Amino acid sequence: MLSLSNIEFSIGERILFSGVDFHINPRDRFGLVGPNGAGKTTFLRIIIGEVLPTRGNVLRTNDLNIGYLPQEEIVLKGGTLIDEVLKDYHKQLERLTKLQTELSKKSNNRQIIRAYESEEERFLRMGGYDYEAEAYKVIAGLGFVKEDYEKKVDEFSSGWQMRIVLARILLNRPELLLLDEPTNHLDIESILWLENYLLNFKGAMVVVSHDRYFLDKILQVKTGATGILEVNQGRFRKYRTNYTGYLRESQIRKERLQHQAKVQERRIKQIKEFIMRNRANKSKAKIVKSREKYLEKLKPVEVEKEHKQIKVRFPLAGIYSKRIVQLAGVSKYYGSKKIFENLNLTVEKGERIALLGKNGAGKSTLCRIIAGYEPPDSGVRWSSEKLRIGTFLHEILLKMNPEDTVIETVSKRAVQEIDQNIRKFLGLFLFSGDDIYKKVKVLSGGEKTRLVILLTMIEPSNLLILDEPTYHLDKSSTDAIKQAISSYGGTIILVSHNRDLIVPFATRIIELRDGRLFNYPGDFFYYLQKRKDTSSYKGERRKKKKTISPMDVLKDKIINLETRRNRLRELFSRPGFIQNPRKAKKLFEEYQRLSREIEKLEESS
């Protein structure tokens, strides 16, 4: 189907990857991973023929149908959403109709007959006359509603336009599907739908992603080969496992190489010392010569250089109020469009809230209102006098002067202590050398994200509001954000579609849906189960009215208690926890009480 043999690609003297031998057969599927700039997108573009390798051969079967979703934004113009999604279907119908007309005039023409059979086979492979019905299912799964169907495509944001392109690619059922960071522009609901859709996909695929849950799910299939392909520091490696297994195996391999390098280093040192001691000893001249030749031929164990990682720490400001922010009857409209109405929300000290919802539901707007950056159209916002907010909002970028340099942007916000050590502070976020003089307008997406996070760290806070803080960041930087969130002692409201960030963090989920807030006092899996239960209930309520049994109430109570107990466990593991013995004792007593209550309830069930 596709074969890459001894592929190398270089830019000037820099080799992105070399010695790549890769074969993909029907129904094989692989995840492609590596740090930003390692060459993942280039690898996909070599597969489709957009880029030629510096060395090596690419062999594709004749007429191989490849569907490619690039990471770069695509600008659509022209027709409506439905016109765009059905464009390939209508083109194929036109080709068939034209050939049918030609056949009616020249029924014995073998060339026309072969062309018609080929186009008909392609039409059936696309789904035939079921294509249109399938199209409506796909666009609904990707988050579009009926009101969107007749909208012009250029009315949609870039993120929603990427969904339109993805829908077209999926509907065409390519033999080989190439997706470059497909979850970047999706909300959690659409990601979950795409996972299940790809599980039933019949073709082969290569997917670039750092979403552990997403890759693990789509690599569960039994048919065809599966695995992870890693592009890193000029090397191309294959792992016959899922993404979680890759992380484990990759770490073991690195540790093994580091150990081998240390053993070799000690051995080289011993040999060199032997040579120095015996160089003048004629009786050992042959041995010395032999050892010298051995060192000349010895190939050093190559240990991967550690990628520089941003260092994130959100400084904490003290606050004593239990209730820190409250919204009462809050509504927001943009013109005649209702974003949300009559929302009530209380945020308490120490809470770790994940704010979820579809793209466009109003999550960013709600964050701005909570932060006090934007007034509601009606309702009241109250906050504690001691409230100090640190925010990662993409609107901050819009307020920056595009002509300012990185160092100028930070200097305007820096307190005296940071201003005196500003170069060192910038270095923590990998801004060094000439990078600090780059203008904001020329920064890459990842650099802009790092800059906003850096500004969030300048002043102490007791409430962090983080709106997609890992957007454009690679796994290394995402891990740094994850660690900083875990060690932060204040209250956090997090908007993210990154489940690897949400799962270990959230103890309360709030979903903004249809202009209303839905509260789930538990972790992410509790939220998923509750949503599933609600969906099942809605599907069956016409058949019979569902009653809540005492056992369901009991299970809910156990889940809520376990969520609080798990939160306490996480607090116990934090550095500096025992520095406040009175607080530690009080929390430990609460932990013991919760354990006893859970044990009693489980016995009752």
Per-residue pLDDT tens over the stretch 74-126 = 888 888 999 999 998 889 888 888 888 888 888 888 888 888 888 888 888 88
Tell which CATH architecture fits domain 323-525: 3-Layer(aba) Sandwich (3.40)
> What is the rounded CA–CA span in Å between residue 256 and residue 304?
12
Asked whether residue 406 carries a pLDDT value surpassing 50, the answer given is yes
pLDDT at 233: 85
Q: What is the pTM of this model?
A: 0.78
Asked whether residue 304 carries a pLDDT value surpassing 50, the answer given is yes
Query: Quick one: which of 433, 472, 435 has its CA closest to 450?
Result: 472
What the block records as the tokens of 110 is 């073998």
Higher local confidence (pLDDT), 605 or 593: 593
Average pLDDT over residues 184-196: 91
**Is residue 173 very low, low, confident or very high in pLDDT (cuts 50, 70, 90)?**
very high
What the block records as the tokens of 189 is 């609901």
Gap between the terminal Cα atoms of the chain: 56
Sorted by where each begins, the domain ranges of the chain are 1-64+175-240, 77-170, 247-297, 323-525, 547-605
Alpha-carbon distances of 386 from 317, 349, 393, 450, 531, rounded to whole Å: 9, 12, 21, 27, 36
> Are 1-64+175-240 and 323-525 equal in CATH topology?
yes
> What is the rounded CA–CA span in Å between residue 161 and residue 73?
8
pLDDT at 184: 85
Indicate the class that CATH gives domain 1-64+175-240: alpha beta
pLDDT at 426: 81
| pLDDT per residue as tens digits for the range 420-454 | 677 777 887 778 888 888 888 888 777 888 888 88
| pLDDT per residue as tens digits for the range 31-53 | 999 887 788 999 999 999 999 99
